[in-house]
Chain A
Amino acid sequence: DTGVSQDPRHKITKRGQNVTFRCDPISEHNRLYWYRQTLGQGPEFLTYFQNEAQLEKSRLLSDRFSAERPKGSFSTLEIQRTEQGDSAMYLCASSSLGPNQPQHFGDGTRLSIL
């Protein structure tokens, strides 16, 4: 169990640029979640995958955000035409199937928009 890994740890970019983050979940976990966390707040749900299927997407997620999980393994989160308000920590978590299975979180990717 190598844990959930996220890359990069920190991304600094200019407003209007596109960014892509990667998450490698624990290998046997079917479920994968993306969250956004701003200072002083709890993680805010963005989207959820079960294997390769994206089953739910937050209404807070604008069309500039897209996520994929090809072959049910790693996942990517892309933000197009970044805005100042996108500055946040982006967390990935994975879990086994089952409602009471704990989520295992990665270290997160901190996005800073200049």
Chain B
Amino acid sequence: AQTVTQSQPEMSVQEAETVTLSCTYDTSESDYYLFWYKQPPSRQMILVIRQEAYKQQNATENRFSVNFQKAAKSFSLKISDSQLGDAAMYFCACYSGTYKYIFGTGTRLKVLA
């Protein structure tokens, strides 16, 4: 069975600082894809960043980057220069060949002014 675990229910960061959200996953598939999604309060879930498991290079998207440790099955999200608009629930997700995306339970990020 495929699982995604986010062990941090809530995190806080000062504006302009850096924060790292943790995610571990487990899958028996050799070919899979990992995603971070952001869900602002009462708003749509949107994609933040994605990583193909076959790529060794960590993905980056502006202030967002990942630390993908394939052997450890770890996929953490780093947010640099945090902004008030980054406050949201963040979900880690894994997709493999069964068409299903498996999501973690989420981490609520608070950004302090």
Given the complex, which residues of A lie within 8 Å of B100, measured CB to CB?
Answer: 45, 48, 56
Asked whether B65 is an interface residue with its Cβ less than 8 Å from the other chain, the reply is no
Are the C-beta atoms of A99 and B91 separated by less than 8 Å?
A: no
Known pairs A33-B101, A48-B100; A99 contacts B33 (CB<8 A): yes
How many residues of A are in contact with the other chain, CB < 8 A?
A: 23
* Closest chain A residue to B95, Cβ basis: A99
Q: CA of A32 to CA of B97 in the docked complex: distance in angstroms?
A: 16
Interface size class, chain B: 20 to 34
Are the C-beta atoms of B46 and A105 separated by less than 8 Å?
A: yes
Q: CA of A55 to CA of B99 in the docked complex: distance in angstroms?
A: 8
Known pairs A99-B33, A100-B52, A105-B46; A41 contacts B105 (CB<8 A): yes
Nearest Cβ in chain B — how far from A112, in angstroms?
15
Q: CA of A3 to CA of B47 in the docked complex: distance in angstroms?
A: 13
Given the complex, which residues of A lie within 8 Å of B95, measured CB to CB?
Answer: 99-100
Asked whether B102 is an interface residue with its Cβ less than 8 Å from the other chain, the reply is yes
Q: CA of A92 to CA of B99 in the docked complex: distance in angstroms?
A: 15
Known pairs A56-B98, A56-B99, A56-B100; A42 contacts B44 (CB<8 A): no
Can you list 25 pairs linking A and B with CB atoms under 8 Å apart?
A3-B44, A33-B101, A35-B103, A41-B105, A41-B106, A42-B4, A42-B91, A42-B93, A42-B103, A42-B104, A45-B100, A45-B101, A45-B102, A48-B99, A50-B99, A55-B99, A56-B100, A99-B95, A100-B33, A100-B52, A102-B35, A102-B50, A103-B47, A105-B37, A105-B44
